[in-house]
Amino acid sequence: MTTTIPIDGTHADQFHRDGFTVVPELFTEDEIGIYRRAAQQFVDPRHRTAQVGLIATTDAWEKNETLRELALHPRLGAAAERLAGRPLRVWGGEILAKPPHEPTPSGLHEDMTFSLLDSALTFNAWIALVDVPVQRGAMTFLPGSHRRPGPERADFETVRGDAFATYLIDTWPGLQWNPRITVPVRAGGVTFHHNRTAHEAGPNSTDEIRLAFVVTFTDAGATYRPVPGSDPLPMRAGQPIDPVRYPRVGG
Ligand SMILES: O=C(O)CCC(=O)C(=O)O
């Protein structure tokens, strides 16, 4: 196993300044092949979400041994902690697949509004399990958007149903003038984005499925914070998240 962590100060600076960064080749071809096959076997096309054209799993990292290994991978965790500059926990790991010729983009949004956490820092590592050129549904980020003024989160009532398509610009109108950076990634590369960073992903106009695995990291002291209409976990608001279910990186 390669133990080098290809992260330097420029990645951390970009992560804090722009709210995202990209690390090509965090996983080798051989490694990513193992995780890709596990994801191909696990993903279930019946779980397509019409709103964003994605097939998304629920708790894949807890249900599949190989995908759990990826979520808890020491090199990924070390890279995440180096970017964050603080101790972290793993909060989840899910497959996000976009079927071939899926015309629906994953619309512009940020993740904090939907987050069940109160934390100093929560962010996603989006791992490309296949090559993801722009036309296969690559991620686009609005650099610096995590530092925007205005409400910390959108009003949850405004993000339901059709309103999801416009809530981001409706809530933070200044973001419509923010530059957008689209990031094609080869298999084994990883994009990291802060949960306040506005982002989207395009449609998949290719003949191949776009397979990604997203690991969510949160600071070690995060507490549970249900959102209106969504209180799915056996915890009280304000309670530290379960240290066994959500293990410390490197723990
Ligand atoms: O994979 C996608 O299409 C969207 C992913 C996303 O929004 C995220 O990782 O926060």
Token pair, residue 155, equals 């009003």
Q: Cα dihedral angle (204, 102, 192, 133), rounded to 10 degrees? A: -10
Using the mean position of ligand 1's atoms as its centre, give its distance from the Cα of residue 204 in Å: 13
User: Is 201 contained in some domain?
Assistant: yes
User: Is 8 contained in some domain?
Assistant: no
Pocket test for ligand 1, best of 98, 111, 126 (most atoms within 8 A of CB): 126
Is it the case that residue 102 has pLDDT exceeding 60?
yes
> Which residues form the domain of 91?
18-223
Please state the rounded mean pLDDT for residues 94-122. 96
Instruction: Check if the beta carbon of residue 215 is closer than 8 Å to that of residue 117.
Output: no
Q: Provide the pLDDT for residue 1.
A: 45
Is it the case that residue 219 has pLDDT exceeding 70?
yes
3-class secondary-structure state, position 190: strand
Tens digit of pLDDT for each residue in 41-50? Answer: 999 888 778 7
User: In whole angstroms, what is the distance from residue 72 CA to residue 2 CA?
Assistant: 16
Tally of CB atoms within 10 A around 150: 10
Q: Cα dihedral angle (99, 100, 106, 111), rounded to 10 degrees? A: 40
Between the alpha carbon of residue 141 and those of residues 75, 166, 225, the distances in Å are 24, 16, 26
Q: What is the CA radius of gyration of the chain?
A: 17
Residue at 77: amino acid letter: G
Is it the case that residue 26 has pLDDT exceeding 80?
yes
User: Is 251 contained in some domain?
Assistant: no
124 lines ligand 1 (CB under 6 A): yes
CATH number of domain containing 208: 2.60.120.620
Counts of helices then strands in the chain (DSSP H, E) = 6, 13
Instruction: Check if the beta carbon of residue 242 is closer than 8 Å to that of residue 222.
Output: no
Using the mean position of ligand 1's atoms as its centre, give its distance from the Cα of residue 201 in Å: 7
User: Is 77 contained in some domain?
Assistant: yes
125 lines ligand 1 (CB under 6 A): no
**What stretch of H or E contains 11?**
helix 9-18
pLDDT tier, 3 (very low <50, low <70, confident <90, very high otherwise) = low
User: Is 106 contained in some domain?
Assistant: yes
Using the mean position of ligand 1's atoms as its centre, give its distance from the Cα of residue 137 in Å: 10
User: Is 238 contained in some domain?
Assistant: no
| Among protein residues, the one whose CA lies closest to atom 7 of ligand 1 | 200
Tally of structural domains, the chain: 1
Using the mean position of ligand 1's atoms as its centre, give its distance from the Cα of residue 13 in Å: 22
User: Is 242 contained in some domain?
Assistant: no
User: Is 79 contained in some domain?
Assistant: yes
Could you write out the DSSP letters of every residue in 22-37?
Answer: EETTSS-HHHHHHHHH
Please state the rounded mean pLDDT for residues 235-249. 96
Tens digit of pLDDT for each residue in 126-160? Answer: 999 999 999 999 999 999 999 999 899 998 888 88
